[in-house]
Amino acid sequence: MVRLTRRPQPFKLSSQGFTLVEMVTVIIILGILVIGVSSFILLGTRIFVDSTSVDQVLSQSRFAIERMTREIRNALPQSIRVASNGANYQCIEFVPITASASYTQLPISPFTASETASVMLPQVPLSSADQMVVYPLSSADIYEADPSAATGRVFNVKSIAANTITFDQAVQFEEASPQSRYFMIADAVSYCFESDGAIRRYQGYNKFNQDQPGPAVMGNGVLMAENVVNNISSQPPIHFTNATLRNNAVVQLTPLFSVNLQEFQYQHQVQVVNVP
């Protein structure tokens, strides 16, 4: 009888785990991948941040230019004026029209002064807080006016009832409008390009100033846009051509904006209808 016996198998070492060389190799490969991926992420983030900054400046500049355009077009004839102070600021000032229509009866020199005027009402409701203007021929007729005087072209309004405007006292307008037109005006408005690169809008200061005021006098303005890099003394952003008998007044806006080493400049022209 033959007995079979199993010979014991030799002990085998476990092959599980990594060698030091393998671990170092994996670490190096992962490091290369991380550096590559992070560079793409950083580049994409930088592009996004830069494009967002440019888009923000573009949006601000478009809004500021569009707002200025709409308000300047609605300015009272002969009320636009521009002033600069070296490289510190350049401001454009004007008086917005709140309402306009025709009058039917008005106390005009040399006729007798009166406390009332008969007018046609515009679509926009009239306000007794405004002033009434008839036939302004120069900026002095507006900015040097005394609305409380007895004669002139600008007067305070006491009340409005139906088609009748009542003044504080008996008044006498200096001259009739060829179109029998009257205007109602409120506060003056100024847009200033300032040395810190900002465009600010000012309102609520005294509009009857013989000398055009600067930002320091007008109080706190509303920030409209930033990043304007015009050299105000040598490259002013505002050019104004006054009206003539044949041409309307023209305001040329040329602000230069800069963001992330990129520059873009507007060449925007605004015509102001001057039909007093």
* Both tokens assigned to 23: 């671990």
Q: Dihedral sign, CA of 255, 259, 261, 263? A: negative
DSSP 137-199: -STHHHHT--TTSSEESEEEEEEEETTEEEEEEEEEESS--TT-EEEEE---EEEEEETTS-E
Per-position pLDDT tens, the chain of length 276: 555 556 665 555 555 666 777 777 878 887 777 777 777 776 666 766 667 777 888 888 999 999 999 999 999 999 999 999 989 999 999 999 999 999 999 999 999 999 999 999 998 889 989 999 999 999 999 999 999 999 999 999 999 998 999 999 999 999 999 999 999 998 899 999 999 999 999 998 877 788 999 999 999 999 999 999 999 999 999 999 988 767 788 999 999 999 888 888 999 999 887 667
pTM of the model: 0.81
* Both tokens assigned to 258: 């800069």
What's the confidence (pLDDT) of residue 23? 78
Q: Where are the alpha helices (DSSP H) in the chain?
A: 20-73, 140-143, 215-218
What's the confidence (pLDDT) of residue 18? 67
Separation between Cα atoms, residue 222 and residue 216, nearest integer Å: 13
Residue range 235-265, pLDDT digits in tens = 999 999 988 767 788 999 999 999 888 888 9
Residue 130 burial (CB count, 10 A): 18
Residue type, 238: I
